[in-house]
A and B are shown apart, each in its own frame.
Chain A
Amino acid sequence: MTIDALLALIGEIIETDPARIDPTMDREEIAGWDSLAHLRIVTAFEEAYGVRLSMEQIVEIRTVQQLSRMLEEV
């Protein structure tokens, strides 16, 4: 999975141009990525890639890069 695909998925949920999302930026600094959007992103991510994250992992995710790395861990 490419970061670009993940950015596209997140961009669609938070209604932001994926090109404007920095994969290393903390989610609190990204407009529209609030706690509810975070859960929507996780749900879409799990559905798209057929994985299931634990609650600890979900809370841990701070950046797009970290979310991408989760795929290798689970």
Chain B
Amino acid sequence: MRMGVAIRRFAIPGFVHSLYHLVAGRAIVSPRAELEWSRGLRIGRKSQISSFVKIKASEGPVSIGQRTDIGCGVFIAGHRHGIVIGDDCLISPNVSIIGVNYRYDRADRPIREQGLQSGGPTRIGNNVWIGAGAVILDASLIEDGAIITPNAVVSGHVPANAIMSGNPAKLVFTRR
């Protein structure tokens, strides 16, 4: 881990993040959330970040819209192409939003030595509800009004107002 990343990640106490985001954008960030001090991290007005949330924004931007709630234990890992979460979203506890993948092209080398790759930005629209424990993989696009049921695994495109369930997540119903 680079020194700069380590400092941003560990050296700034949680209450400093809480105070900064409260003053800057009226966002409520738990002092027990683990945020990186990064220009790439943007939290919109009146959003809430609960305890034990971890957001990595050193390798790429992470943008959270307005009035969006991020539940306990959510893990958000931004990378080169970034992660965008829209307004009025409900992200339930223990959701993982991963904006990157390990490369595994060569079977003769350890996966950890092959580096990382991202297929594109990971985008979550407005008014999206993601159920507890769901996993949103790199380069996913979840359009406005969609619902992801608990423990679903999403990769790819989720149309607007879709209700998706399972691993891999499949369309169950379209809200009307």
Contact = CB atoms under 8 A, between A and B. Distances in A.
Per DSSP, chain B at the interface is strand
Contact of A36 (B149, B175, B176): B149
A54 B149 contact: no
Interface residues of B, number: 7
A29 to B, nearest CB: 22
B33 interface: no
A42 B176 contact: no
A42 B175 contact: no
Contacts of A74: none
Contacts, number: 15
Contact of A55 (B163, B165, B172, B176): B176
B176 A39 contact: no
Contacts of A42: 173
Interface string A37-57: 001101100000000001100
Given A36-B165, A54-B176, 12 more contacts: A36-B149, A36-B163, A36-B172, A39-B163, A39-B172, A39-B173, A40-B173, A42-B173, A43-B172, A43-B173, A55-B175, A55-B176
Interface of B: 149, 163, 165, 172-173, 175-176
